[in-house]
Amino acid sequence: MPELFSLEKEEFSKVDDEYQWTYQCLFKFTFNYQNIRKITITDHIWKKKGREKITKELVLNILREYLNGGIKRPKKRHGKREVFIEENVSYKNKDYLLVFWFENNSSDWLWVRNCYPIN
């Protein structure tokens, strides 16, 4: 299988108190009718007890299988930022919840957080 993501930047944000990994998308990926060229994954939620096994590698694997070239539409919105929630994302016989939002002032840069098993 060809590589679908290329790591562009890894950093620790003191403001958000989290690691952030930004990847270039090496495949055609459309989310909410927008062509996505970058994805950033954060480790914010993984600091909570019981979620230590959720890694950026797991998120990338889910994105490879679940999001490869598909069009995704928002399911819910909350807060000041438009947030897209995908529930019941199946991967290796487990269901996960994924939360997405766009980088401020950018429609081609998607962030991913709160990936966790829901069963």
State mean pLDDT over 26-43.
85
The confidence score (pLDDT) of residue 23 equals 95
Confidence of residue 114 (pLDDT cuts 50, 70, 90): low
The residues pairing with 113 across neighbouring beta strands, listed in sequence order, are: 99
**pLDDT at position 37 over 70:** yes
For residue 87, give the nearest of 116, 112, 65, 56 by alpha carbon.
Answer: 116
**pLDDT at position 22 over 80:** yes
The residues near 110 (Cβ < 8 Å, ≥ 6 apart) are 31, 36, 38, 39, 40, 100, 101, 102, 103
Percent of the chain with pLDDT strictly greater than 90: 15
pTM listed for this prediction? 0.79
pLDDT (tens digit per residue) in 55-98: 788 888 887 776 655 656 666 666 667 778 777 777 888 888 78
